[in-house]
């Protein structure tokens, strides 16, 4: 089985290597003057809110190149996870 662990350092990686395409989910901790301070795993980062209609402290957002690209919809996030569980429950075990 492959290693599906990755994670913890995503936010740091994106910051450290300054790569273009990495986008990471972070939680908004503070908002001031159109800029949010976001947080994940103890990493804090500034993000412009220029691209969002509205955002509040406590929202999870996807951060890309110093901008909050989109809000994460907690309801849809849960629905997707529920769907995975359905596949698990429907499956007759691994077929390989």
Q: Which residues bind another protein (CB under 8 A)?
A: 1-7, 10, 14-15, 17-25, 40, 48, 50-53, 60, 62, 64-67, 69-70, 72-74, 76-81, 83-85, 87-88, 90-96
Could you tell me the sign of the dihedral formed by the alpha carbons of 39, 3, 65, 13, in that order?
A: positive
Residue 6 or 32 with smaller CB distance to another protein: 6
Helix, coil or strand: residue 84 = helix
CA distance linking residue 62 with residue 22, whole number of Å: 10
Residue 30 or 79 with smaller CB distance to another protein: 79
Residue 79: CB minimum distance to another protein, A = 7
CA distance linking residue 57 with residue 20, whole number of Å: 26
Residue 57 or 77 with smaller CB distance to another protein: 77
Residue 27: CB minimum distance to another protein, A = 9
CA distance linking residue 41 with residue 25, whole number of Å: 11
Structure tokens at 56: 């509040």
């Amino acid at each position: 089985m492959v290693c599906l662990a990755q994670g913890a350092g995503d936010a740091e990686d994106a910051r450290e290597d300054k790569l273009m395409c990495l986008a990471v989910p972070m939680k908004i901790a503070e908002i001031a003057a159109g800029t949010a301070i976001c947080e994940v795993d103890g990493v804090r980062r500034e993000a412009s809110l220029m691209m969002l209609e509205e955002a509040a402290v406590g929202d999870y957002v996807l951060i890309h190149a110093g901008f909050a690209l989109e809000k994460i919809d907690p309801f849809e996030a849960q629905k997707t996870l529920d769907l995975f569980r359905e596949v698990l429950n429907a499956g007759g075990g691994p077929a390989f």
